[in-house]
A and B are shown apart, each in its own frame.
Chain A
Amino acid sequence: MAWGLPESAVVCHLGDILKTKLNEKRVRTIGRLVDQNIHDQTVLLTSPIKGCESDQLTVSVKLVYPFQASIGSLYEVIGEVIKSTEGTSLRAHSWRCMDGLDIFMFYQVVQRRRDYFQSRSLKDSQADKIT
């Protein structure tokens, strides 16, 4: 019963998907909707962090159609990264409105989690070395 499940998604900033060479196929990211193209069934998301508004990601919303979309709102997308010659884009598997989210708090918590896991993996690796 537990087979055929989608891969686990990695939480990352919208900018990270564009810039870095992510190995993960499935990601979870938060972005602000700026434009939507009904014919291609794609939307354009920008980074919600101040100063990073230039990071824009095209998201294909074929799979989540019909979906709620109002320009200027915050959305969370879980989806598959597709790399092509035209650039990186995302195929959304889950689409969730995140209006009202305290972005600063959210990223702080995410960072805290990353730190925690890093410290834990460090400890584990040290223990392995000792044993």
Chain B
Amino acid sequence: MYGNYQMLDCFSVLNVPTLIPINTNCNIYECDLNMCAIKSASTYPDCQMIPEMQWKIDPMYSSCCNLFIKDILELPLYTGSQENTFMYKNHPIRLVSLMGIVVKVEEKSQFFIYGVSVTSAQSLVDRMERWHLEQLTCLQVGDLIHLRGRLRMYRNAMQISVFSYGKVIDPTHSFEVTHMDSQITKYQRVYDVPFCTNSHLDKAMESRKRPKKSFKEHIHKSKNKNLAPQIVAVLKEAIKNLLHKGLIFKSKRMKGLHYLTLANKQLKKEVCHILKKDCQKKHYLNGCHFLHIYDTVINCDDFQCLTHVALKFAFKLFRARRSDSQFQ
């Protein structure tokens, strides 16, 4: 029949018999990318490039990006990289995931070629029809497939090495529609927003440094104004008071370091440990004496400068917390 011949011209094979691929690698080909690459690189001049060290911070680097075919074809190589990492805005991209309809099936001696068109919508998107999938098996024209793969440059053409693909069985087509919808949302919220690691990191670093700096500067400044002795005196007084009340205690390891009795989890752990261990002994069956615990605690770790008062305060606190929890 004439019609059928024409059809075979356009789609070489329509009904593909089940066939096991000889190689498991599936390749998608497209050509003529250079022009596009130059154009899109100049389109986003304000995006700062991320240095290679920081690529992994961008989530798009390690995830399968759901880009439009047109965008994938126009992806330029990431400036400064020799490997197969591409750039969308300033996001580094390695992996892509696509969903589309098979529009062309071609039989070769060793494998099948499939042209795939992305589901519905814009003219841009439908350029997936120009893509070829090799060695997919038992797919027919009109089937919906989903694939994930690694981007690669092959003879100046973009190629996707597919590591997973499959036919999507979707009787209500809801998956297809939601996929289309979510793709735009992803574009608007993630892909189109330039990633700014540098400024992020710098800001974070600055904010970390700032309090220390400002405190030191403050002290220095006040020194100049002869206010330093006053401030130091007030601080010393306050620390003395706190030490006296047992709210803080000194550290032996570092000079000038003080621990908060309230927040020191290590102290509580240590006390609990001693109680558990010693109450099993015959001598302490009815419980340990405070001084015994104090002696033991002082011998361990960094509690050499722990005072009686501080430990008593800690005990009070434990008791109060325990009773609270009992009431609750």
Question: Which residues of A are at the interface with B, using a C-beta cutoff of 8 A?
Answer: 1-2, 5-11, 24, 28, 41, 62-65, 76, 78, 93-96, 98-102, 105-106, 109-110, 112-114, 116-117, 124, 127, 131
- A95–B7 touching, CB < 8 Å: no
Q: Shortest distance in angstroms between A7's beta carbon and chain B's nearest beta carbon?
A: 7
A-B contact count (CB 8 A): 120
Cβ–Cβ < 8 Å partners of A65 in chain B: 3-4
6 cross-chain pairs, A with B, having the tightest CB-CB distances, nearest first = A62-B3, A8-B126, A100-B172, A63-B7, A96-B142, A101-B173
- B142–A5 touching, CB < 8 Å: no
Cβ–Cβ < 8 Å partners of B127 in chain A: 8
- Interface SS of chain B: mixed
Cβ–Cβ < 8 Å partners of A5 in chain B: 104, 115, 129-130, 132
Cβ–Cβ < 8 Å partners of B202 in chain A: none
- A112–B184 touching, CB < 8 Å: yes
- A1–B113 touching, CB < 8 Å: yes
Cβ–Cβ < 8 Å partners of A124 in chain B: 43
- B121–A98 touching, CB < 8 Å: no
Question: Which residues of B are at the interface with A, using a C-beta cutoff of 8 A?
Answer: 1, 3-4, 6-7, 10-11, 14, 29-31, 42-43, 45, 101, 103-104, 113, 115, 117, 120-132, 134, 141-142, 157, 171-174, 177, 180-181, 184, 187-188
Cβ–Cβ < 8 Å partners of B30 in chain A: 2
Whole-angstrom CA separation of A106 from B120 in the bound complex: 9
Smallest CB-CB separation from A41: which chain B residue? B3
Smallest CB-CB separation from A106: which chain B residue? B177
- A105–B126 touching, CB < 8 Å: no
User: CB within 8 A of A105: which of B124, B177, B187?
Assistant: B177
Whole-angstrom CA separation of A106 from B14 in the bound complex: 28
- B104–A6 touching, CB < 8 Å: yes
Cβ–Cβ < 8 Å partners of A96 in chain B: 101, 142
Whole-angstrom CA separation of A8 from B116 in the bound complex: 10
Q: List 13 A-B contacts (CB under 8 A).
A: A1-B132, A5-B132, A8-B123, A9-B129, A10-B122, A10-B123, A28-B117, A64-B14, A78-B101, A78-B117, A93-B103, A101-B172, A110-B180
User: CB within 8 A of A116: which of B45, B130, B141, B184?
Assistant: B184
- A9–B117 touching, CB < 8 Å: yes
Whole-angstrom CA separation of A110 from B184 in the bound complex: 10
- A62–B7 touching, CB < 8 Å: yes
